[in-house]
Structure 1
Amino acid sequence: MPIRAIVYASEVSPAIAQGRLGQSDGKLDAIVDDACRFNRDAGVTGVLLFDGERFLQYLEGPEDGLSVAYSRVLSASSHSALVELQRGRAGYRRLPFWPMRWLPVEPAELRSLAHADWTGFKQRSDSDAASATGMDLLRALVETYAIAA
């Protein structure tokens, strides 16, 4: 079964952005917990990066599960101004261990990811910072958390 992926960036809704990293009322945790339960059943894995004002999310899985999970993303009130950065075949799972997880990132890190090359979800093992793809940057950000998973 081919693995497909979607990566997008969006602006957080005021209800989530009120608290530092969405945690004053645990709203972000509740959203991610709900997504985690749904994604597990749909066979979807991914990560949500959050800088306090913006999201960048990478989702991967079988086409049918990914399609339903992404339709939930598109209708969510937790964000707006969604910009799809890439959609397509991923080749293999990059985040097989997380049905969903959110990670705090610095605004500059999220900006770099949003402006990176996501074409074909390519990853270069020998890339330097100047030629890093979106997948290279994402891998570097989640690597520490992945080891602990």
Structure 2
Amino acid sequence: MSLRALAYVSHVVGPWDRMSLDGLIAKAADFNSEADVTGVLLFDGHRFLQYLEGPEEGVDAAYHRVCISTSHSDLIVLSQGPLARRLVPYWRMHWLLADPGQVRNVAHADWMGFIRSERRRERPRSAMEHLLSYLNPHVPA
């Protein structure tokens, strides 16, 4: 099965509270489970940054739901393309409260591909390195 990934950033519409966001994520996780999609959503109070991965049909279906959602606006695709292996296999969908600077760093980093460098660096360079370094403390053991 070939895998595909997609990442986007958007502006949040309206104020959100934890319960509302938990409900949105629970619905997304149920859908993603059926579509065999995994992913994560960063939320800084003003923006969403979401990363999705899975089979092409599943990612396309999940992204279609994103596009018709009224919970956000000004959606910008940061990157999309083939993926050799899942980078967040542990979450059907999960959200994390992020600092605006963290969302900005990930959104503005190099999204040329979904490759994670095997070399350890003191500072991440690619967008995925930024994202994965932010996710690392939250990953289930």
Bin the TM-score by the shorter chain. Answer: over 0.9
2:90–2:140 CA contact under 8 A, matched in 1:
no
Instruction: Give the Cα–Cα distance (whole angstroms) in 1 for the partners of residues 96 and 58 of structure 2.
Output: 23
Are 2:19 and 1:10 aligned? no
Instruction: Give the Cα–Cα distance (whole angstroms) in 2 for the partners of residues 61 and 119 of structure 1.
Output: 18
Are 2:98 and 1:143 aligned? no
SS at match of 1:114: helix
TM-score after normalising by structure 1:
0.90
Following superposition, the deviation at residue 91 of structure 1 comes to: 1.1
Q: Which runs of 5+ in 2 are unaligned?
A: none
2:6–2:51 CA contact under 8 A, matched in 1:
yes
1:78 to 56, 71, 78: 71
Letter of the structure 2 residue corresponding to residue 124 of structure 1: S
Instruction: Give the Cα–Cα distance (whole angstroms) in 2 for the partners of residues 128 and 136 of structure 1.
Output: 11
Q: Percent identity?
A: 43
| Greater share of residues in helix | 1
1:128 to 118, 122, 127: 122
1:32–1:100 CA contact under 8 A, matched in 2:
yes
Q: Which runs of 5+ in 1 are unaligned?
A: 17-21
Deviation >2 Å, runs of 4+: 125-128
Letter of the structure 2 residue corresponding to residue 69 of structure 1: A
Structure 1 residues 43-58: aligned runs within 5 Å: 43-58=36-51
Instruction: Give the Cα–Cα distance (whole angstroms) in 2 for the partners of residues 123 and 97 of structure 1.
Output: 17
